[in-house]
């Protein structure tokens, strides 16, 4: 369900957008774990984020999008299976890895030709992206190999003034990271298990397939004599 803007203070969000525009890292809650965000089109910001987390650019980053229309500038036309998954699980904790449009930053794609995208259901993220109006890189708030932070307090304890803007909020203690699926034509590859189980997304696709076969069988059924 989309966030109601009047229930979220806009001042911290405006400050967050100013920090992002200045190439700084911000921290924010999501419906899964706390995240660190930067402007994906500022190379220095991406480099700073990589240094902070202690990871290489080869893995790429997830892009949070304000709406599905934003996909047009990021990915090639998504295959039908990807659209089905979007219809059922977006906004929500599902990240789809899709063929990237040329020209995206290499630190975002990992120079792989693919890009990971997610439409978050977090009210804070949705309100932030309504103001920002562009995709944001977002990655779990942790050093590589460590558990992710689940509160603003935990982020401040980890990094202090290195993160100038920390949006308030907590994530559910039992929440898992987003499920990561790569959609390649008519094939789906599970890259990371997460909040949406394999049984859940496979049930959606199986239901679509059963409905398709049912309609096909009805078309083949002979007219009654």
Tens-of-pLDDT digits for all 225 residues of the chain? 444 444 566 799 999 999 999 999 999 999 999 999 999 999 999 999 999 999 888 889 999 999 999 999 999 999 999 999 999 999 999 999 999 999 999 999 999 999 999 999 999 999 999 999 999 999 999 998 898 899 999 999 999 999 999 999 878 888 899 999 999 999 999 999 999 999 999 999 998 766 555 554 444 444 343
Rounded to two decimals, the pTM is 0.88
CB 82 within 8 A of CB 68: no
217, part of any domain: no
Q: Which H or E run includes 195?
A: none
Q: How many CB atoms lie within 10 A of CB 189?
A: 10
191, part of any domain: yes
**Per the structure, how many domains does the chain have?**
1
The span from the first CA to the last CA of the chain, in angstroms, equals 51
Alpha carbon 114 to its chain's center: 14
SS3 per residue for 134-179: CCEEEEECCCCCCCCCCEHHHHHHHHHHHCCEECCCECCCCCCCCE
59, part of any domain: yes
Strand, helix or coil at 185? Answer: coil
CB 26 within 8 A of CB 16: yes
79, part of any domain: yes
47, part of any domain: yes
Contacts 24+ apart (CB under 8 A), 128-134: 128/13, 128/16, 128/17, 128/28, 128/167, 129/64, 129/65, 129/66, 130/5, 130/66, 131/10, 131/13, 131/14, 131/17, 132/17, 132/20, 132/66, 133/66, 134/39, 134/66, 134/70
Q: How many CA atoms lie within 13 A of 100 on its CB side?
A: 21
219, part of any domain: no
| CATH number (domain holding residue 88) | 3.90.870.10
180, part of any domain: yes
* Two tokens, residue 17: 């957008």
* Residue linked to tokens 């997460």: 194
Q: How many CA atoms lie within 13 A of 93 on its CB side?
A: 23
19, part of any domain: yes
CB 177 within 8 A of CB 195: yes
8-state DSSP, 103 = T
Domain that holds residue 166: 5-195
CB 151 within 8 A of CB 34: yes
């Amino acid at each position: 369900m989309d966030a109601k803007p009047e229930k979220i203070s806009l001042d911290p969000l405006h400050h967050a957008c100013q920090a992002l525009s200045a190439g700084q890292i911000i921290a924010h809650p999501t419906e899964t774990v706390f995240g660190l965000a930067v402007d994906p089109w500022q190379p220095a910001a991406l480099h700073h984020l990589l240094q902070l987390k202690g990871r290489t650019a080869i893995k790429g980053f997830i892009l949070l999008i304000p709406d599905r229309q934003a996909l047009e500038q990021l990915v090639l036309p998504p295959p039908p299976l990807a659209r089905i998954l979007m219809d059922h699980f977006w906004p929500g904790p599902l990240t789809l890895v899709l063929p990237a449009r040329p020209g995206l930053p290499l630190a975002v794609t990992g120079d792989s030709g693919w890009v990971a995208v997610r439409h978050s259901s977090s009210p804070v993220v949705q309100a932030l992206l309504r103001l920002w109006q562009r995709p944001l890189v977002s990655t779990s708030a942790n050093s590589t190999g460590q558990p992710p932070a689940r509160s603003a307090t935990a982020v401040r304890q980890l990094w202090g003034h290195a993160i100038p803007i920390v949006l308030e909020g907590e994530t559910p203690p039992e929440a898992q990271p987003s499920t990561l699926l790569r959609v390649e034509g008519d094939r789906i590859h599970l890259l990371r298990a997460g909040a949406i189980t394999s049984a859940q997304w496979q049930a959606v696709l199986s239901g679509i397939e059963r409905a398709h076969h049912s309609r096909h069988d009805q078309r083949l059924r002979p007219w009654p004599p």
